[in-house]
Structure formats: structure tokens, C-alpha cells
Amino acid sequence: MTIISQTLDAFDDIFPTDMAPRLFQAPGRVNLIGEHTDYNAGYVLPAAIDRQIFVAATARKDSRINIYAHNFNQWDRFGIQNDLEKLSGNPCGNYFRGIVWALLQQGSELCGMDAVVSGNIPIGAGLSSSAAIEVAVGFTLLQLSGSEISLKDLALAAQKAENDFVGMRCGIMDQYIACLGQADHALLIDCRDLSYQNLPLPFEASVVIVDSGVHRGLMDMEYNSRREDCEKAARHFGVSVLRDVSMEAFRERAHAISAVVQRRAHHVISENNRTLAAADALRARDLSAFGELMIASHASLRDDFEVSCPELDRLVEMALDVEGVYGARLTGAGFGGCMVALVKKEAVDDLTETIETNYGSVAGRQASIYICRASAGVSEIEIEN
């Protein structure tokens, strides 16, 4: 049974009603390059992936929201109101409540709904399942309510939910690509003004994601502390965001800050430059150049930003030993999670085999491998009867 029919069947079992539900999806994402740059108003180059969150839902006449999270076998029920309470022990519930809260703050008029949420994005693996939940539930509610906002504003509401309701100070990348992703393309996003360009991914290469199986509990704390380091560095250079510090200015004036903060700033400034260069390489279809930039990005995340871990470093090394792999790096916030590799189509089997054979023995863990296709952002799915 496909995940779509499972979601619809679950809806029928749980909410016996004559009204047929509508079905919506929002994708997870993989970031090809441009890591920890979004909250520095810099550049990112992610793609939406063919792993999604699905919502089957009907509108209610009152202002109650009843959501069943199928993967967790967990309910959340609440009324639409401005002072929504945060839950403990129900992380999914806080994403549902957070997006409702943020849409209300933006002035959207929302109806109640009955909904089943399910998905096949690995949870906690750094592929942005939480952004996909916020965007999918927000889009569903807006559609059922007949309220219109732009996809950009939906992404901003989802980021606000995560920042101010859930308490994770993420940038805009994940929510933005979940809204605006395009099939077979990566998006170069300027996180200062939210302008973007769709760049076609070359047919002759595959994007391979490998989940290291390391899922760290303290991720949010570490992430927020990296963000504070960047803010400290920006203050030192007299700007509000590191985007505005050039490599030349960094070289002239970095000596006066602590070594740690210097390294953080060096990562962000060099990563912004790499991301723009990677976009140029993609436009020129120069995959070797693109791969080299991915490799340099990983080294910078490992040594300067210090968000890698031994398992991810090993995965990257293993991948780079395979003939036909252009480049590989950790993707997402780091501290565990996934590696992404850009690979010649003919080399995908070799890469898969190498990792399946060797990763368990060096890391004592099981890696999960996804060959992914760049996919479209949030949408309604027509249900065939």
C-alpha cells in the first residue's frame, strides 16, 4: 500500500464523515551547498526531495483542530486561539500549534479542521521533516479556509513557528524550499531579500543522501550557540550580519576576536563565496568544479564551524574514494544526520555497495541510503476515485 492510500485510509477510519478529504503534500529537502549561511543573510542552494509529509483533511464548521499524527500514533486537539499552549512530550503537536499560531499572528483567518498527518521523511535525520510538517499543515489550513497568502509568506510563517513557538532559531532555508522547490532543480536563494533562481540539476548526475544514523538530542542547543557566535563576529565587524563581511575585511580585522569566533566567521564568509561559485558551476554544467566546492564545504564545516562528527567524516571519505563521485559533504545543520553526494549516474551502484559493505564496520551503525529526485514544493494532490 502506498503512503498516500495509508493516509487516506487512516482518515476514513478515524473521521467517519460523508465529506471526502482533500490531500496535500510538502517535501523534505537536501542542501547541496551553503550551510549555516541562511541566518547570516547569505546564500543557500537546496533542492526539495521526493520524501514528503502528507495531510488528508476536511474543514470543520467550528474552530477546533483535531490532528492525528499517524507515524507517532499521537493526537493533538486544540481550539484556534492566539494564546496556544506549548506541549511537552508531543513534538509533532508543537509544529501543528506553532504554524496555527504563526498564521494567526500574520492575520490569516482560519477554519477548524480534522486531519491525518503522515510521511516518509526520516525524522531527526536533518532532511527537514519539521519544516515540511509546518508547511504542509499551514498550506492545508489556508486552502480549507479559503485564505490566501503567498508561498513566501507561508515560509516566513513556518519559520516564525519554529523560532518563536518551538524555540529553534533556524534560518529560512528549510521552510522556503518546502514551499518553492521545483522538480529537477535546485534553488539558489539569497536569504537577505528572499530572491531566488531555479537551477536545473544535470541529468547525468544523481543526488545520493546517506543517513549516518547519528541523531543528536542536543542539536538545538548547539545550533543556537553557533548562531550566537556568528552574531558576536558580526558585532565585531560592525555589521548586523556576516554576509556583509568580505574575506579581505576578515583577514585584516579578525585577529582581535577569539579563535573560536574567528573560525565560525571564516566558515560563513567562505561558504557564501563557495555557494555562489557552485551556482556558477551548475550553470556551466561543470560538475567536477561543483564537487570540489562540496568537498571544501565539508572541510570548513568540520574544522571551522565544528558541526561534523566522526561518522559523517567517514561517510564523506568513503564516498570520495569511489570513482565517479564528484563531491560529498554533510548536509543540514550537522551534529549527525546526513551526507549528500553528487555522483555520476553509472557510479551510484558502486557508491551504495561501498557504503553498505564498509560503514557498519567502521561506525558500528546502519546507514540508510536514498537516491533522491529533486521535487516540487508544497501542493494539493488530486485524489483519484
Binding site for ligand GLA (CB under 6 A): 31, 35-36, 38-39, 128, 170-171, 173-174, 332-333
Amino acid sitting at position 242: L
Amino acid sitting at position 55: V
Main-chain phi, psi angles of 370, to 5 degrees: -125, 120
Three-state DSSP class for residue 73: coil
Closest CB to ligand GLA among residues 39, 290: 39
76/241 Cα distance (integer angstroms): 38
Closest CB to ligand GLA among residues 291, 334: 334
- In whole angstroms, how close is the CB of 173 to ligand GLA at the nearest point? 5
Closest CB to ligand GLA among residues 111, 315: 315
Three-state DSSP class for residue 374: strand
Closest CB to ligand GLA among residues 114, 271: 271
- In whole angstroms, how close is the CB of 358 to ligand GLA at the nearest point? 27
| 76 assigned to active site | no
Closest CB to ligand GLA among residues 76, 134: 134
- In whole angstroms, how close is the CB of 99 to ligand GLA at the nearest point? 15
Q: What are the counts of helices (DSSP H) followed by strands (DSSP E) for the chain?
A: 11, 13
- In whole angstroms, how close is the CB of 94 to ligand GLA at the nearest point? 15
The one-character DSSP state at 358 is H
Closest CB to ligand GLA among residues 33, 257: 33
Spatial contact of 33 and 267, defined as CB atoms under 8 Å apart: no
344/351 Cα distance (integer angstroms): 10
Closest CB to ligand GLA among residues 174, 211: 174
- In whole angstroms, how close is the CB of 294 to ligand GLA at the nearest point? 14
- In whole angstroms, how close is the CB of 39 to ligand GLA at the nearest point? 6
Spatial contact of 149 and 108, defined as CB atoms under 8 Å apart: yes
Query: Which of 174, 211, 229, 304 does the annotation list as catalytic?
Result: 174
Q: Enumerate the H helices of the chain as residue ranges.
A: 3-14, 91-105, 129-145, 151-160, 173-180, 219-237, 247-253, 259-283, 287-303, 310-320, 348-363
- In whole angstroms, how close is the CB of 189 to ligand GLA at the nearest point? 11
Distances 231 to 14, 174, 239, 262 between C-alpha atoms, Å: 47, 21, 9, 12
DSSP secondary structure of 246-302: -HHHHHHHGGGS-HHHHHHHHHHHHHHHHHHHHHHHHHTT-HHHHHHHHHHHHHHHH
276/104 Cα distance (integer angstroms): 36
Spatial contact of 226 and 264, defined as CB atoms under 8 Å apart: yes
Looking from the CA of 321 toward its CB, the CA atoms found within 13 Å total 11
Give the catalytic positions in this structure: 174
